[in-house]
Amino acid sequence: IVKNVLKILGSPPYTTVDWQEQNSSLFQWMKLEKLVIFLVISMIMVVAAFNIVSSLIMMIEVKRREIGILMSMGLDQKGVMRIFLINGTLAGLIGSSAGILLGLGLCAIQLHWHLIPLPGDIYFIDHLPVKILPVDIAAVFVVTNVICFFMSLIPAWKASKMLPAESMRYE
């Protein structure tokens, strides 16, 4: 529309500004805010992954004898590592799936009942708008599970390096 108006009116004495140009700083700020929110959520996911690591390390300490028995029966280091990688990754999958379902549920509630109001005299809208983007959901899901997988490598590696005789000695 801007180009058509300029053609009709003539460009030297007149200028046009569309709503995106007029509010360009607002849109740049919103893009930056989206990136910052994603980084904050990623940090929260890292903290959750540390919880998974600590629970796996505690499980290794509690199941030290059982790991030693499995290794003495012929389970190799890769098998022990695989067990704990699957355990940590599964915990991440369950947690990220539950978090995404909870988040989608809260978004649906906000879309339907507008529980978070905004002052209409300051903003052009009277409630917090919610837009569900599958790309954002997929990004959060993938990043969460990649973090959980890599964080599970630490305790899995520790468990795989245990010696069968050492792990059963003190039991």
Q: Tell me what pLDDT residue 1 has.
A: 81
Looking up tokens 């989608």 gives 104
Backbone phi, then psi, for 94, in 5-degree steps?
-65, -45
Cα 151 to Cα 53, 81, 92, 124, 143: the distances in Å are 6, 13, 10, 44, 12
Confidence of residue 62 (pLDDT cuts 50, 70, 90): very high
Q: pLDDT of 80-127, one tens digit each?
A: 999 999 999 999 999 999 999 999 999 999 999 999 998 888 777 889
Q: What is the pLDDT of residues 3-49, one digit of tens each?
A: 888 788 877 777 788 888 888 888 898 899 989 999 999 899 899 99
pLDDT at 39: 94
Going by pLDDT thresholds of 50, 70 and 90, the confidence category of residue 170 is low
CB of 52 closer than 8 Å to CB of 151 = yes
CA angle centred on 40, ends 38 and 45, rounded to 5°: 90
